[in-house]
Structure 1
Amino acid sequence: MINLKEIKQIANQGPYYPNWQSLGQFELPEWFKKAKFGIFIHWGLYSIPAFNNEWYSRNMYIKGHPEYEHHRKTYGEQKDFGYKDFIPSFTADKFDAKDWAKLIKLSGAKYVFPVAEHHDGFQMYKSDLSEWNSYEKGPKIDVLGELKSACENENIRFCTSSHRAEHWFFMGHGREFESDIGENLEKGDFYWPAMPEPDNQNLFSEPYPSQEFLDDWLLRICEIVDRYQPKLLYFDWWIQHEAFREHLKIFAAYYYNRGTQWGEKVGICYKHDAMMFGSGIVEIERGKFGEAQPFYWQTDTAIARNSWCYTTTLDYKKPKEIIQDLIEAVSKNGNMLLNIGPKGDGSFSATDQQIISDIGGWLAINGEGIYESKPWRKSGEGPTKIVSGQFQEATVKQYTQEDIRFTVQGDSLYAYIMNPMNHQTFMISSLKVSADQNLPEFHGIIKDVTVLGIDDVFVDWEISNEGLIVRSQKPTGEYPLTIKIKMR
């Protein structure tokens, strides 16, 4: 079993060391630059109540919360039926890692991030550090291990995420009244440490995580690294707290050195400047950058607006909206990680499967301008603008046929009409004839123009002083349309 002494030895053996100067030598894996699209999977105990969202374990202990009232009405008082009492119902009778891998493959995704451990503290993998895991309790399955094997057999790169940091306070509200959480918790207890919830947006909020908790956090994520060798590891938000800084540096050096031993370039996805810029992959939750960035980044979002896990009241996005999000990210030098949430029994809803199928069908036709592409010198044109930042999905973007996003691949420029609205004529003003060679405008020579997916239909095009005009003889539908512009 791994120990702290060994972790520190490996973290200090090079070529990476636990300081930002050294970790700043991080090199992004080439496959990530090309992949563009991955699948996130939130599945755990919270999938059993399937109520509201994946924060059920916290909110069921907060008086006045919908989860609190729902729990008492459905299962009884928290002192008699607590969160841990969902474990016997978590049998995962319909879980089949091979079926999951096939669904991910169908989506067109090139990599996958199943959650290893969420804020509730239930590990979805075999662990020597805690008995509260899916291998020893509940389904008695090493979920991460089976998914790794199945996905790699489908040539899908295996990554994973840890949300353990927030467990410091996540169950703490259960101490405010009589519940099953109790007072005298020790390391090894499922609910430990259940501390009072701080201002979790404050980088210096108290109570600080204890040395015991931080060491346990480090051991857990290093165990994941050693056992499953993920290509990337994603952290949720609370690791930006000041208390995690030194442990995070140690982990980063450990993980990057392990990757070197494996002959792999690995990476950490982080939010809120938890790491020094350049030492990992910048992550934006449910949001994007407004313009193309000179560095690679990733947005993580979900198939539903109101939850990351399966619930009975999901507000699903339309496939078209998700595809538009993907195009926005890729045109701005980003990747998109799309979350899906299996049911508690391990199956996927018909709606999830249909949305995934629709996205994969679109990528099968239009993916040549997505995979392995690069941003053009401008990310797009049109009236609809993206605001930089997280949690920007409250309203659906109302794209028009004038909203166009660009990518480049090989000798071709790809212009994505974000909402063709069944129009057959499109104007790309960024490709207009420029009379002044000194202006930073388009001066290239176009060889040919085609519309992906309808190459059996004649496409007429011409360049004018207003832009490149493209006319198709076939209605274009409502999904984003790809115009491929081949250059001489």
Structure 2
Amino acid sequence: MKCIKREIIFLLLICIVSSVQAQTWEQMNSTKKEAIKHFNEDKFGLFIHWGIYSLWGGMYKGQKIDDIVSPEPNDACWVQARARIPRVEYQQLMKQFDPVKFNANEYVALIKEAGMKYVVITSKHHDGFALWDSKVSDFDMGSTPSKRNLVKELYEACQRQGVDFGVYYSHNIDWNDAHDCNIKTYCDVTGEVWPEPADFKGKKRRPMGANLWDPSPNTFDEYLVNKAYPQVKELLEMFPNMKFMWYDFAHFLSKDQSFKFYQLVYKLNPNVIVTDRVGHDLGDFNIPGDNKIPNPEDMGGKHWETVGTFNNSWGYKEYDKDFKSPYELIYWITAIASRGGNYMLNIGPKGDGSIPEESVKNLKEIGKWMSVNGKAIYGTKQWKVSREGEDTQKMLGTGHRATHGFTSNFTTSDFWFTTKGNKVYAIALERGKEALIKSFAGEEIKEVKLLGHSKKLKWKQTAEGLSIVLPKNKDSQIGYAIEVTLVSSL
């Protein structure tokens, strides 16, 4: 750790916390309505999982991490935990991390071309490595050959090009400096049995993410005071126009610890919204689960965001070629928007900073679709009907998608709906010569348009619904979106 006196840091944190001690979470959250509204209107963003683990690409000593027997996730950014790699050995990756192909301006240009409105990057993932030169840790970019501040480069490019920016920060899990990640203390306090095997009924805690193979010699509380809290402060002060703090994996935090992480953000920038993964239901918006499309009623009345992988790994995995196609990605965007949520799609750059070709190609294809149909996505809300059709496609998480794939059987009778003011949008993935949208039966319709088409449509309203004659699909676009203007808004 870099030389900073613990007493000074501790006193500074006491001042920060005590100055807002009287404020409850409800009071702080209530001031963020405009920030949350803006976030929800953005709808579509990019997640970036990147770190020194990207150098290995899901391999360890010539072996695929999927073939390593371990209860930990087989994701590329979990390689240290899955292979139980000692901290000293893992730290050697810093000496090889020189991302010469990372160009922040090109990244942000791609984000905009894809029709995305915001980006969140892993400033520090579970391995504890910081993508900037931190004042309180040597396990960071300052110890690499390039010594670049990768997070700042991306932030500044976002500021220049008008893209909202946020950081991911693993606050509970840090395999380099957080001892056992607080699992032993947590289980002692809650009375849960530790460690494996777990029965998932609350009696035995699954130690997923806890460093039980080579814990750092300091205590977890020392990690919070000497590293986690100060690094969060560094990020917030470094990026004054930051929009999101994406905490993650608060499995072993007390409610008081989660509250302090939320409170610290509020004190330094009250307009930054915080993910519910800060822990103990103290977030400003909810994450239903990785690669999962939820029922909105299960989100507790909060705005929500689905985060999804491009293939089946958050970090770069050289042998995972199961990339989501443009067709599938348009389904994710559409289905999530129809339920009122946001979609943040992830890329896992390689160790040299380049983005996998499949991701670049498909992002550009998504951008073409969004340039025509984005009006049906951005700034919209859930209509009284979100879905019309027979297909029962379900997305229940990363493992479900990896096992079952994308098995849609959509037809020209499948529609998803969004709304904005007195306009309702009907989005389809399959296109025929005509369309019958039954959900508009009985609605008072003023006007009907096809997004991206300047000529008037032939349409009529019948007892069955809205009947439309569709023009030829000259550009071979995936699906289409219909804008229906009602006489009055809901």
TM-score interval for Structure 1 and Structure 2 normalised by the shorter chain = 0.7 to 0.9
- Secondary structure of the residue that 2:142 maps to in structure 1? coil
- Secondary structure of the residue that 1:454 maps to in structure 2? coil
- State the percentage of identical aligned residues: 23
Q: Partner residue of 1:432?
A: 441
Check the 8 A contact 1:4/1:219 in 2, yes or no: no
Whether 1:468 aligns to 2:477 is no
- Secondary structure of the residue that 2:435 maps to in structure 1? strand
- Secondary structure of the residue that 1:376 maps to in structure 2? coil
| Whole-angstrom distance in 2 between the partners of 1:461 and 1:63 | 58
Q: Residue 307 of structure 2 aligns to which amino acid in structure 1?
A: D
Q: Partner residue of 2:324?
A: 317
**Shift in alpha-carbon separation, 1:290–1:24, aligned structure 2, 3 A:** same
TM score, norm. by length of structure 1: 0.79
Q: Deviations over 1:233-255 (max 9, x none)?
A: 11222x143x3421220121121
**Shift in alpha-carbon separation, 1:80–1:145, aligned structure 2, 3 A:** closer
Q: Partner residue of 1:375?
A: 382
1:402 positional shift: 1.9
Whether 1:250 aligns to 2:260 is yes
TM score, norm. by length of structure 2: 0.79
Q: Partner residue of 1:406?
A: 417
Check the 8 A contact 2:141/2:147 in 1, yes or no: yes
**Shift in alpha-carbon separation, 1:408–1:343, aligned structure 2, 3 A:** same
Whether 1:217 aligns to 2:248 is no
1:322 positional shift: 1.0
| Whole-angstrom distance in 1 between the partners of 2:22 and 2:235 | 20
Q: Residue 252 of structure 1 aligns to which amino acid in structure 2?
A: Y
- Secondary structure of the residue that 2:321 maps to in structure 1? coil
**Shift in alpha-carbon separation, 1:248–1:204, aligned structure 2, 3 A:** farther
**Shift in alpha-carbon separation, 1:234–1:327, aligned structure 2, 3 A:** same
Q: Partner residue of 1:88?
A: 95
For residues 446-461 of structure 1, what are the structure 2 equivalents within 5 Å? 446-456=445-455, 459-461=457-459
**Shift in alpha-carbon separation, 1:295–1:401, aligned structure 2, 3 A:** farther
Q: Deviations over 1:360-410 (max 9, x none)?
A: 111111011111112111212112346585445343151322221111123
Residue 156 (structure 1) aligned to one of 130, 155, 163: 163
Q: Residue 299 of structure 1 aligns to which amino acid in structure 2?
A: T
- Unaligned residue ranges in structure 1 (runs of 5+): 68-76, 171-189, 434-442
- Secondary structure of the residue that 1:86 maps to in structure 2? helix
Q: Deviations over 1:90-139 (max 9, x none)?
A: 11111111111111111111111010111111111120110111133243
| Whole-angstrom distance in 2 between the partners of 1:7 and 1:416 | 50
Residue 149 (structure 2) aligned to one of 122, 142, 148: 142
| Whole-angstrom distance in 1 between the partners of 2:439 and 2:291 | 29
Residue 179 (structure 2) aligned to one of 178, 193, 208: 193
Q: Partner residue of 1:27?
A: 32
Q: Residue 139 of structure 2 aligns to which amino acid in structure 1?
A: W
- Unaligned residue ranges in structure 2 (runs of 5+): 75-83, 184-193, 212-218
Q: Residue 435 of structure 2 aligns to which amino acid in structure 1?
A: F
Q: Deviations over 1:145-171 (max 9, x none)?
A: 11100111110011010124222xx5x
| Whole-angstrom distance in 2 between the partners of 1:411 and 1:463 | 18
1:25 positional shift: 2.9
- Secondary structure of the residue that 2:287 maps to in structure 1? strand
For residues 12-411 of structure 1, what are the structure 2 equivalents within 5 Å? 12-14=18-20, 17=22, 19-25=24-30, 27-28=32-33, 29=35, 30-51=37-58, 82-167=89-174, 170=175, 190=176, 193=179, 198=195, 205=205, 210-215=220-225, 216-229=227-240, 230-237=242-249, 239-241=250-252, 243-260=253-270, 265-271=271-277, 274-276=279-281, 279-284=283-288, 285-291=290-296, 294-385=301-392, 390-391=397-398, 392-393=400-401, 394-398=404-408, 399-411=410-422
Give the CA RMSD over aligned residues.
Answer: 3.5
| Whole-angstrom distance in 2 between the partners of 1:7 and 1:35 | 33
| Whole-angstrom distance in 1 between the partners of 2:49 and 2:325 | 19
Q: Residue 416 of structure 2 aligns to which amino acid in structure 1?
A: R
Q: Deviations over 1:279-322 (max 9, x none)?
A: 41101221122346653111100211244435243310001111
Q: Residue 483 of structure 1 aligns to which amino acid in structure 2?
A: I
Q: Partner residue of 2:485?
A: 486
Q: How many residues align?
A: 437
- Secondary structure of the residue that 1:333 maps to in structure 2? coil
- Secondary structure of the residue that 1:31 maps to in structure 2? helix
